[in-house]
Amino acid sequence: MQDSPRQVPPMLTKKKFSYAFIEIIQTILIAAAFYFAIDAVIDRVEVFNVSMEPTVMQGEVIFVNKIAYKLGDVKRGDIVTFHFSLDPKIDYIKRAIGLPGDEVSINDGKVYVNGYELVEPYIHDLTSGDGMWVVPVDMYFVMGDNRLESADSRSWGFVAKNDLIGKALAVYWPITHVRVLNHYDLLPQVQ
């Protein structure tokens, strides 16, 4: 005698389908929640100009910590992203050189803050232009690392604290360029 194939009652098939459907929906909702949580903290920015070379190259994509300056302060040497005050739809990436109250001066290609020459291992050329600026409250003096090819605070002024987007953390694209970005302490250690 041969056994006939067992048939699964239609009710069990329906329950399995409902359970699988609920699991898929839950997985999608959890993935969406993670995406939006990460997106609230991390921004992804593509670099479109050469003003930060060799630190960040044109075409690289970087992670930016959007809550860094909501929880802490900008430090000299931080690589910051911000909305350009003359056209807020444009975002820039530069290095913070002068903090509120600092006196920034450029003489003979060297940059000074409060009378101290900055230690800047990331630049290859002397800084063009001479001048002196006192950074107002809630503002920052920023410059690109490629000093000869950077439009920055030397030409268009200070960056307002409210225009800051965040602190650049790492290059993640292209994959062959992945690296953590260096934020230097620019002032010499005074004893």
Q: For residues 181 and 179, what is the distance between their CA atoms, to the nearest angstrom?
A: 6
Please report the pLDDT score of residue 9 as a whole number: 57
What would the pLDDT profile of 89-134 be if each residue is shown by its tens digit?
899 999 999 999 999 999 999 999 999 999 999 998 888 889 999 9
| Domain-embedded: residue 25 | no
Q: Show the domain range for 60.
A: 43-180
| Domain-embedded: residue 26 | no
Please report the pLDDT score of residue 191 as a whole number: 38
The secondary element (H helix, E strand) that includes residue 22 is helix 10-41
Tell me which residues are annotated as active site. Answer: 51, 94
pTM: 0.82
CATH number of 110's domain: 2.10.109.10
The two beta strands, 164-173 and 61-65, are antiparallel
Q: How many domains does the chain contain in total?
A: 1
Q: For residues 65 and 39, what is the distance between their CA atoms, to the nearest angstrom?
A: 10
pLDDT tier at 8, thresholds 50, 70, 90: low
Q: What is the mean pLDDT of the chain?
A: 88
| Domain-embedded: residue 138 | yes
Q: Over pLDDT 90: what percentage of the chain?
A: 62
